[in-house]
Amino acid sequence: MIACDAQAVANLFLETGYWRDLAAFTWNLKTLEGRPAIADMAAVQLPVIRTHSIHLDPAEAVSEADGVTEGWLQLETSLGRGVGYIRMKEGKIWTLLTTLHELKGHEEPRKLRRPMGAEHGHDPNRLTWKEKREHEASTLGVETQPYVLIIGGGQGGIALGARLRQLDVPTIVVDAHERPGDQWRKRYKSLCLHDPVWYDHLPYIPFPDNWPVFAPKDKIGDWLEMYTRVMELNYWSSTRAKSATYDAAKGEWTVVLDRAGEEITLHPKQLVMATGMSGKPNIPSFKGQDVFKGEQQHSSQHPGPDAYRGKKVVVIGANNSAHDICAALWENGADVTMVQRSSTHIVKSDSLREVCLGALYSEEAVANGITTDKADMIFASLPYKIMHEWHVPQYAEIKKRDADFYRDLEKAGFMLDFGDDESGLFMKYLRRGSGYYIDVGACDLVIDGSIKLQSGKGVSHLTEDAVVLEDGTELPADLVIYATGYGSMNGWAADLISQEVADKVGKCWGLGSDTTKDPGPWEGEQRNMWKPTMQEGLWFHGGNLHQSRHYSRYLALQLKARHAGIETPVYGLEPPHHLS
């Protein structure tokens, strides 16, 4: 067992070193920045976590470049095993990532531990696999209670449900849609993944090697439906959560559901909000919305272009959804105008894939032995505080590579930005900054005028048949689409539980970077995501497919530890700063 000299541990790091821990030592997702913070965490946690070993992985090579030595680690504590990644400068640790991958005595039944499946021999009372599944599905939530209730059955809820299934945690996933995958199927018909396939696998079952690089929404919907069946999830479709209250004395929730018209009450110990990457649709309020005689839709409600051939459409916003919707409307013969009120970050899909993602998520990376798990770990090993240092030169290269493209966009009147520090897409996404678009073709339509553009102007009001901008420009419209994003995920908690609980928890997402739309103070991790919150038994899970896959592992292990009765002393759990 390793000694618990906290200051000695801190002295292994540079003065400006970083230790990012994903549940292995902190039972939290926490980044310690600098020796004092590292020493404090080590003093509190090492005596109770009890480290058995941390050493270089003998199966992996150590690399050196530009004065930095880096390599893979294996770690073991009294409770679990995990994986780490280390970077060193001048003989000291610069960045350290430690992650929990399994709990001792509760390992997943994978590889050599996989179940036999067939039960050889003779037993007149034996149940088949199908009979066992049918019994479980018919009794869980009726005769027995789930330990975890996941509200939201998109990629986040499904990925977490699959992890918990492997850890033998009784779990129900509920979703208001009729079928798994309908969250994708029911969006506008041109929707597709803008991230490449190597970045988007779900846990346990990667996409096949003939899967398209950019999957259409209906193909993703079918995959998610298949996934829920193959991974044997207890998935309740056509089920809407109506209310939830927490009984601190019992340590459990009372959740009222409407399941296909039948009211059902469940009492899970843990409640996970997996209601999407963001919160409720953000619909701006403009004078005249009540007098406009045409249709008004948030982008999440837009059914596609089929009914709008020959119609005049105004799309307010210039993000991913706005571009996709505008392009599809133009293809279908609509007269469409995009209203860009503030600058937008644009990156061509090919450039993003080749310059930013290719080293970790690509066919070449796979050929070089970088599995999805390895890629996720390397990506996670970059502390958020210095992550932009990797991205700034990448986007400088992209700006040079696509200089003509950006020149043409600006010539068309489009307002561009690359983030507050020129670090581009990933940091804007993580900081919840202003809009961005991964270009898969719509920008050419903006450049040549097929999609009309009004930029740098706000909306003044709506009339019966037009959108009027602040400078008096009048845009005749049969349909107005608000591609104006979403609020914080805790808005769902306010509706389901109470505003008091939502305020107690605070905002979800964002780093506190003091950049556009991400006010400080600095948090160091995504607010409230995949980790304990100030409300006992309440968790938030979501993000893109990459985040749903990777962070579902750590959330599932935190939930399993509680289910198994393991002590989980959480380090660094703090109230939101507005309540401090």
Res 13: pLDDT: 98
Single out the residue of 307, 373, 319, 298 nearest to residue 57, CA to CA. 373
DSSP code per residue over 399-447: HHHTHHHHHHHHHTT--B---TTS--HHHHHHHT-S-EEEESSHHHHHH
**Is residue 492 helix, strand or coil?**
helix
Confidence check: pLDDT of 295 > 50: yes
Average pLDDT over residues 310-328: 96
Cα 236 from Cα 230, distance rounded (Å): 15
Residue 580: pLDDT band with limits 50, 70, 90: very low
Res 71: pLDDT: 97
Res 200: pLDDT: 96
pLDDT tens profile 400-459: 999 999 999 999 999 999 988 998 888 888 887 668 999 999 999 999 999 999 999 999
Res 278: pLDDT: 59
Burial of 149 (0-12, 13-18, 19+ CB in 10 A): buried
CA distances to 44, 183, 251, 491, 507 from 494, rounded to whole Å, are: 34, 22, 20, 5, 11
Single out the residue of 248, 181, 161, 266 nearest to residue 496, CA to CA. 266
pTM over 0.85: yes
Average pLDDT over residues 229-246: 97
Cα 337 from Cα 477, distance rounded (Å): 9
Res 279: pLDDT: 65
236: CB partners within 8 A, 6+ apart: 141, 172, 173, 174, 175, 257, 259
Res 277: pLDDT: 59
pLDDT tens profile 510-547: 999 998 888 899 999 999 999 999 999 999 999 999 99
Burial of 122 (0-12, 13-18, 19+ CB in 10 A): exposed
Cα 340 from Cα 485, distance rounded (Å): 13
CA 204 distance to own-chain centroid:
18
Res 449: pLDDT: 98
Residue 3: pLDDT band with limits 50, 70, 90: low
Average pLDDT over residues 560-579: 91
Res 429: pLDDT: 85
Burial of 285 (0-12, 13-18, 19+ CB in 10 A): exposed
Domains and CATH numbers, the chain: 6-103 (3.10.450.50), 129-280+488-579 (3.50.50.60), 295-482 (3.50.50.60)
Amino acid identity, residue 60? E
**Is residue 144 helix, strand or coil?**
strand
Res 1: pLDDT: 43
Q: Are 171 and 150 in contact (CB under 8 A)?
A: yes
Burial of 17 (0-12, 13-18, 19+ CB in 10 A): buried
Residue 276: pLDDT band with limits 50, 70, 90: confident
**CB neighbours (10 Å) of residue 139?**
10
Q: What is the mean pLDDT of the chain?
A: 94
Average pLDDT over residues 199-204: 96
Average pLDDT over residues 343-351: 94
DSSP code per residue over 208-239: PTTS-SS-BHHHHHHHHHHHHHHTT--EE-SE
